[in-house]
Amino acid sequence: MTTIHKRTCHICEANCGVLVELDGRRVVSIKGNPDHVLSRGHVCPKATAIADLQDDPDRLRRPVKRVGDTWHELDWETAFREIAARVVELQGEGARSAFYRGNPGAHDYALSTQSGYLQRAVGARGTFSASTLDQIPHHYVQYQMYGHVSLAAVPDIDRSQMIVIVGGNPMASNGSLWTVPDFRNRVKAMQARGGRLVVVDPRRTETAKVADQWVPVRPGTDTALLLGILQCVLAEGNTLRPGLAELVDSSWERLKPLVDGFDLDRLSAHCGVPVQTIRALAAELRGEKAAIYGRMGVSVCEFGALNQWLIQLINLATGNLDREGGTMFPQPLLDLVAQVGRGGVKTVETARGTLPSVMGEIPTIAFADELTRDDDQRIRMLFVIAGNPVLSAPHGERTEAALAGLDLMVAMDMHVTETSRHAHYILPPCGPLEKDHFSFFFGPLAVRNFGAYSPPTLPMEQGVKADWEIASELAAAIFEARGKGVPNFETPRERLDAMLRASPAGMTLAEVEQHHDGVDLGPLQPCLGNRLLTDDRKLHAAPDPLVEECHRFAATLDATPADALSLIRRRHVRSNNSWLHNSQRLVKGPDRCTLMIHPDDARARGLADGALARVASRVGEVEVAVEVTEDVMPGVVSLPHGWGHHRAGVSWQTAAAHAGVSLNDLTDPERYCRLSGNAVLNGTPVTVERAEEAVAAE
């Protein structure tokens, strides 16, 4: 007899509802839940791999401690006691400590509500995270314009007639900062109502292939395109529509003269998008029910914050911000925005000099420097929670070397990874089906007003712990070892219940738990007038730092593009960052870690499809097979990230057998967004040549 259990898939931001069929503890199948209020039965291949994560033979179940190159298992109590003692000892020496938080932590509401205790116990002032490799420009702009780092607007796709996606690939990523499960069918429905999807991307992506138009753009130059679109929109008049006009501050008046200062032909020449295409996009976006949205491709670049600002401004200028079919601000079951601080934009002193600090983060571009600086500010104690910076942060080899010098490193991870292999202790969480789930950070980004809770699908195996228990029990052990009283911890469920009750929908956790298919509060509603959190409750259209950044961009406009090829990143629907390569069913098929290159560029280098190429950047080089394809623009090459599992000592055997190379052995931590501190991970200048020739030349 098998049983079926409903839960939310925790792997990506889409938050799909799944049906897990169990025979005892054995997973028989994982399918889409057709009754789920948001995903309506959609799942991607990664959902089925949850079974592989749950049953992964390489997954750690007990704490391990490294002595030299050998790992020894120990019981939880001993692990917590030993770590706590070492923390106290290092605290006594005045050692500086820090955290690195990885992406999966954002999908675990319980850990998200508890890890602050551990941070307090350790006394860590600094947090690095995957956010500064990803979406910090969005938070920066949201804070500057709307007064809260997390107050985000998403395309109202179910009612839109026209969406422009700039630098996002939801057909592979399933949406980001836009919880839009079943993206494909939502697009089909839009197209069936006569709507259009346009994709601006240097690569003809999976999303570009289902779109009505692909607009190739040179990596890192979208600022010019966005300025051009905004100029054309404002040329038709810069009076804001009623409803928005009252909300916007007087800095709005600065914008038209600012963008009119740019010559449209020069903007067009810079980004490679013809003037007539820029004009046509502006005209279409000026229509009702139109939206422009930009993601990784326009975030992880030098002008990431400027780009995200221009995108908000285009939606504002067309009147489509906070309007049906445009971009709208979700009002989810759990109103996170009202319950966490506004965040802020400050600075932080680092070995690299003064850097921006958004939401209290130290930009991860400074990670290796802070671990290796030669003064008393060196980070000697590091806690890595669900992260793999050796593969995800720029200049992986340098990051590796920096980790090797720590006095204490503790990793919360279920594998000995490229990163955790440097830890002194690894504390592994239980399997994914043994945890509960709530759509904590993703309700505020969803295409409907929504929330979903799922209980654990399987009872916990004996002797394992959830991430949140590890964090809070270790925190308690440290408080105890410090001789301080152990503070009273609220459990994740208590915290969740309190936050749900305090939200406008006002449901209790017990009530939410009755809704096995999620709670649907209906389509998005205009609400900005009640949500602005700036001091004067106005939308700040043209904050000074962004206007100044625009002038800085203007000065770069005529720089001649380098001779080098421009390296960008791609995602694949069967992968997720660095950590799903241990699933047999996801890695099967042809090698996916290939360098895509345009036929003209391949020919010029004597590279046939499948040939081995040497790719070199300022910081490193890799050898990888090329895939010759017209799907990338001339001058652009593309690699996936999260591979490079050849490093010695990792425990994920399947991943190691499909090692690939790490894109981040080529990316450069010297490049970052000046306003937000975000890393620049696309548009890396590289040379590409045949591997044999490279060898012969040495």
Ligand X SMILES: Nc1nc2c(c(=O)[nH]1)N[C@H]1C(S)=C(S)[C@@H](COP(=O)(O)OP(=O)(O)OC[C@H]3O[C@@H](n4cnc5c(=O)[nH]c(N)nc54)[C@H](O)[C@@H]3O)O[C@H]1N2
Q: How far is the CB of 485 from ligand X (least distance, A)?
A: 28
C-alpha separations of 209 from 213, 464, 635 in Å: 8, 45, 20
Applying CB under 6 A, among 15, 417, 457, 617 the residue interacting with ligand X is 417
What string marks each residue from 629 to 668 as x (binds ligand X by CB under 6 A) or -? ------------xx--------------------xx--x-
- Name the binder of 476 from ligand X, ligand SF4, Mo ion, none, CB < 5-8 A by kind: none
Through-space distance between the first and last CA atoms of the chain, rounded to whole angstroms: 65
Applying CB under 6 A, among 16, 365, 382, 615 the residue interacting with ligand SF4 is 16
Find out whether 232 and 278 touch, Cβ atoms under 8 Å: yes
Where are the alpha helices (H) located in 302-456, listed in sequence order? Answer: 304-317, 336-339, 367-372, 389-392, 396-403
181 sits near ligand SF4 (criterion: CB under 6 A): yes
Number of H helices, E strands in the chain: 27, 28
Q: How far is the CB of 455 from ligand X (least distance, A)?
A: 17
- Name the binder of 181 from ligand SF4, Mo ion, ligand X, none, CB < 5-8 A by kind: ligand SF4
575 sits near ligand X (criterion: CB under 6 A): yes
Applying CB under 5 A, among 56, 108, 134, 434 the residue interacting with Mo ion is 134
Applying CB under 6 A, among 132, 277, 388, 534 the residue interacting with ligand X is 388
Pairing mode of beta strands 126-129, 96-101: parallel
Of the pair 262, 441, the CB lying nearest ligand X is at 441
**Residue in 120, 129, 78 with CA at minimum distance from that of residue 97:** 120
Torsion on CA atoms 553, 554, 559, 560, rounded to nearest 10:
100
304 sits near ligand SF4 (criterion: CB under 6 A): no
Buried b (16+ CB within 10 A) or exposed e, 612-650: ebbbbbebbebebbbbbbebbbebbbbbbbbbbbebeeb
Q: How far is the CB of 241 from ligand X (least distance, A)?
A: 28
112 sits near ligand X (criterion: CB under 6 A): no
13 sits near Mo ion (criterion: CB under 5 A): no
Find out whether 382 and 406 touch, Cβ atoms under 8 Å: yes
9 sits near ligand SF4 (criterion: CB under 6 A): yes
**3-state SS, residue 463:** coil
Backbone torsions φ then ψ of 667, nearest 5 degrees: -75, 155
Of the pair 173, 583, the CB lying nearest ligand X is at 173
Of the pair 179, 594, the CB lying nearest ligand SF4 is at 179
Find out whether 342 and 147 touch, Cβ atoms under 8 Å: yes
Segment 355-414, which members bind Mo ion (CB under 5 A)?
none
What string marks each residue from 27 to 66 as x (binds ligand SF4 by CB under 6 A) or -? ----------------xx-xx-------------------
Q: Measured at the alpha carbon of residue 139, what is the angle toward residues 313 and 395, in degrees to the nearest 5? A: 115
682 sits near ligand SF4 (criterion: CB under 6 A): no
- From CA 645, how far away is CA 652, in angstroms rounded? 8
Q: How far is the CB of 159 from ligand X (least distance, A)?
A: 21
Buried b (16+ CB within 10 A) or exposed e, 207-229: bbebbeebbbbbbbbbbbbbbbb
Find out whether 87 and 123 touch, Cβ atoms under 8 Å: no
Of the pair 11, 499, the CB lying nearest Mo ion is at 11
296 sits near ligand X (criterion: CB under 6 A): yes
Segment 81-110, which members bind ligand X (CB under 6 A)?
102-104, 108
- From CA 169, how far away is CA 571, in angstroms rounded? 8
Q: For 560, which DSSP code?
A: P
433 sits near ligand SF4 (criterion: CB under 6 A): no
298 sits near ligand X (criterion: CB under 6 A): yes
- Name the binder of 7 from ligand X, ligand SF4, Mo ion, none, CB < 5-8 A by kind: none
- From CA 616, how far away is CA 191, in angstroms rounded? 42
Stretch that binds ligand X, among 149-157, 244-252, 414-422, 523-531 (CB under 6 A): 414-422
Chain residues that interact with ligand X, rule: CB under 6 A: 12, 102-104, 108, 130, 133-134, 166-170, 172-174, 176, 200-203, 205, 217, 219-220, 222, 295-298, 301, 386-389, 392, 412-415, 417, 429, 467, 568-573, 575-579, 641-642, 663-664, 667, 681-683
Chain residues that interact with Mo ion, rule: CB under 5 A: 134
Chain residues that interact with ligand SF4, rule: CB under 6 A: 9, 11-12, 14-16, 43-44, 46-47, 174, 181
